[in-house]
Structure 1
């Protein structure tokens, strides 16, 4: 069985504990007898997957999360489904922060990701500088690069701290490992979405491929 999380840039695959990503234009051939269970936030990339493999099933309707949040993305739902209690931070081009309590999704926040923050200054010549990821967050910056880096990174850290309070934090996504190092009660796990998908599949075995 293959699991696939279809994003806007890559298709992320998971099988037998291994995870990898592929571009929609370069999907590798897989054993056609093995089904692919997927979720998707991109219709064009989803179509590419369906064209490449005969046994594909969108399991969005199987991922049921107890929440009143309107418009919660299917990838966020899957990640939240994998955690009973705690805060889930998915740090990609956008950073999503979701709070789970006793299996119930209480709500969440969305922030620009590190790279998106960086691009906000791209049209201002004197501020168009790459972040210093090693900048001190406890002392006053003494140059423009450090000022931008500290301002953006610390704003993300403080938002997560405010949301989490004393709860455990689960980081995932491309910048998740970097952000997790600022928190003692945290773990980086890039398989949270797939764990949620597996949990949904285990609860719903009828009508599947």
Structure 2
């Protein structure tokens, strides 16, 4: 069994799998991780199965040492970390491939393997990312502040505006503060993303659009003509590991 870590800025998804297709998934707060021994205790509580390798996709470099220490201490092996430069099945046509976020690398790897050489991937997380895969080549993408980040900015930067539930509004003219914020943050950003995706589609002739990430669940009724794949990144982590042992 392999233990996968998708370390995000807010949450860490931990998944146990033996084939990269079915996952036993748990989620914890990223900054609840402080030492390798605390991680060991978490895992003992979360999983009863044994595992013999950990693979890490992390966008939080300052805690990567915890996984390194844990793997060496409790498994006796080095942890495997995602890095675009180490994955040779895709050409990374950007200035500095090693700067591509590991979460984006995982998404692109899984999209190429499961959906083909052409795809636009939108990942709704703490930040929202758009990635473009054309003819098996990673062409780059877009980074946008996430829904929660923008709502928190309004809450912290103003005297009276409240935090609101993250979900789209059914209308585009708000009658109260909450609906005003939801339209301004969720609907407006979504419409902007849809517009950007349409521009990318017209420039590249790519038709396959994949939405992923934890917050994509809140917009499934808003945008229905795309593929929703909430385990895309986890499969990408596993596929990356497969490529390192082949």
TM-score for the superposition, normalised by structure 2: 0.71
Hey, what's the Cα distance between the residues in 2 that align with 1:172 and 1:143?
30
Q: Which runs of 5+ in 1 are unaligned?
A: none
Secondary structure of 2:173's aligned partner: coil
1:74 lines up with 2:102 in the alignment: yes
User: 1:32 Cα shift?
Assistant: 7.3
**Equivalent in the alignment of 2:204:** none
Secondary structure of 1:163's aligned partner: helix
Hey, what's the Cα distance between the residues in 2 that align with 1:75 and 1:134?
25
1:189 aligned to which of 229, 234, 238: 229
Q: Which runs of structure 2 are paired with 1:1-209 in the superposition (5 Å)?
A: 1-16=2-17, 17-18=22-23, 19-22=25-28, 23-25=32-34, 26-27=38-39, 28-29=43-44, 34-53=52-71, 54-55=76-77, 56-60=79-83, 61-64=85-88, 65-69=90-94, 70=96, 71-83=99-111, 84=116, 85-122=118-155, 123-131=157-165, 133=167, 135-137=169-171, 139-165=172-198, 167-205=207-245
Any idea what the Cα deviations from partners look like across 1:54-97, whole Å, max 9, x if unmatched?
32222425334423334321211111121132221111111111
User: Is contact 1:96-1:111 (8 Å) kept?
Assistant: yes
* Closer, same or farther: CA 163–76 of 1 in aligned 2, 3 Å: same
Number of aligned positions between the proteins: 205
Hey, what's the Cα distance between the residues in 2 that align with 1:10 and 1:162?
28
TM-score for the superposition, normalised by structure 1: 0.82
* Closer, same or farther: CA 130–21 of 1 in aligned 2, 3 Å: closer
Q: Which runs of 5+ in 2 are unaligned?
A: 202-206
User: 1:116 Cα shift?
Assistant: 0.8
Any idea what the Cα deviations from partners look like across 1:33-55, whole Å, max 9, x if unmatched?
61112232223422222222332
Give the structure with the larger helix fraction: 2
Hey, what's the Cα distance between the residues in 2 that align with 1:203 and 1:62?
9
User: Is contact 1:171-1:177 (8 Å) kept?
Assistant: no
Moved segments of 4+, more than 4 Å: 29-33
